[in-house]
Amino acid sequence: MRDLIFVSLENWDDVWRRNQFICDALLRRFPHMRLLFVERARDVSHAVRTLRFSDLGRPALRQVREFPGLSIFSPIKLLPNSLSSGRRINALLLRRDLQRISSEIGLKGPLLWINDHFAGHLCGQLGERAVVYDVTDDWTVMPSTAAAERERIVQADRELCARADLVVVCSQSLEDSRRPTARKLVRIPNGVDAAHYRSCIEANPLGHHCDGDQFDSQVSAALVAPVFGYLGTLHGDRIDSALVLALADMWPGGKVVLCGPDFLSPLDHRRLKSRANIEIRAAVPYADVPKVLAGFDVCILPHRCNAFTESLNPIKLWEYLASGKPIASTPVAGFRDFSHLCNLGDGVAGFLSACRSALEEDRTIGLWRMREAENHSWEHRVDDLLEVFRQQGWLGQRAGRNRRLQASLALDATQKRPTTRVRRGERNFCHG
């Protein structure tokens, strides 16, 4: 595998997301690969405006002990991107810094992986072998985005889709919307390390393996004071606070716990904090996620149903399945595909009914959830990704050849485009 520059929309921290899982799998698969992970910029202009300077203390370049080949770069953003001159200067500084650091750490013909839609200006500037654009959320339809910013995002996304050698998406909605522009496209959903969550089933308050009087007493106690838990980004464009409030009111003796990076508005905070049995907790480090899930009686997803959430393939879906816990969700993308393992309900009445059904369900369903999660590992996802890289000739010496996939190229007669068909249902390769 060639050296890699990974331009992320997220920092490399204890709260792991898709970017870190993919990088982790690649670094373990190719221990001699050098990977430069580019974090979100340290924003000087924002720090001055808000008088919050803590983020500026991040080191510009650092290493991670577990991965000798990994270097993490935190660029500096001097000026507001709302100004066209500011955008040009910030882009120039980033290109200059990445060129310098790439030379210092000895990157040679790296693959340029871009997750940030505004990083298209890097294409052709870093001596890269090829460009991959990974689209994980449809920021072009995020409801709260201002019109001018949305137009900039739409333009940047369209240009990067057209320039990239490969566009990677995680959901059907993203595949449908990016296919007309992308030169080549592949859908790689998110995944899970199922083994990381096995402790959840052992610590389950409802006791999946209990029977007789022990099972009945535990279920009865949970029905009186259940814990409904959410693990993921807290944002008004995703979380429907009306559903959370209704849930707290329906079980006043229970508890609703919301854990994750907090981007809720002051209004949402005031509304949620008006209920004594709603807790808003900090983001959970990846190492502690199983312990937190083990404390939930029901894993909930009170997401809004809109174009933005339709673009997602929530990592929490796979984490919830791997935990074996009962699941209650609105009928959003990802969760709809596993309606036989999740309790789904639309609107307040439907969501509350789904939560009630989750509490009362047959606990043996938890084992089916865990088995399903095992079919969607990050290792499988990276296998599929590397198969596409191999077909593109980006691995060299056939070193990354996928031994598990038996893929064949067939011509789609209706669209007149070659499509790689694979037997596993979730994975779908489309080459334009």
Per the DSSP assignment, residues forming a β-bridge with 64 are 67
Residue 54: per-residue pLDDT? 84
User: Does the pLDDT at position 412 exceed 60?
Assistant: no
Cβ neighbour number for residue 402 with a 10 Å cutoff: 20
For residue 108, the Cα-to-chain-centroid distance in whole angstroms is 29
Sign, Cα dihedral of 311, 316, 318, 320: negative
CA atoms within 13 A on the CB side of 41: 23
10-14, 52-56, 308-312, 331-335: which range is least confident on average? 52-56
pLDDT: is 86 or 218 the higher one? 86
In this prediction, residues 77-94 reach a mean pLDDT of 93
User: Does the pLDDT at position 418 exceed 50?
Assistant: no
| Residue 373 contacts residue 355 (beta carbons within 8 Å) | no
Q: Which helix (H) or strand (E) holds 112?
A: strand 111-114
- The structure tokens 């839609």 sit at 117
Q: Which helix (H) or strand (E) holds 257?
A: strand 255-259
pLDDT: is 213 or 137 the higher one? 137
How far is the C-alpha of 101 from the C-alpha of 104, rounded, in Å?
5
User: Does the pLDDT at position 188 exceed 50?
Assistant: yes
Q: Rounded mean pLDDT of the chain?
A: 87
Q: Which of helix, strand or coil describes residue 232? A: coil
Query: Residues of the chain with pLDDT > 90: what percent?
Result: 78
352-401, pLDDT tens digit by residue?
999 999 999 988 899 999 999 999 999 999 999 999 999 999 986 443 33
Q: Which domains does the chain have, with CATH numbers?
A: 4-187 (3.40.50.2000), 194-374 (3.40.50.2000)
In this prediction, residues 202-223 reach a mean pLDDT of 41
What's the whole-model pTM score? 0.86
234-277, pLDDT tens digit by residue?
999 999 999 999 999 999 999 999 999 999 999 999 999 999 99
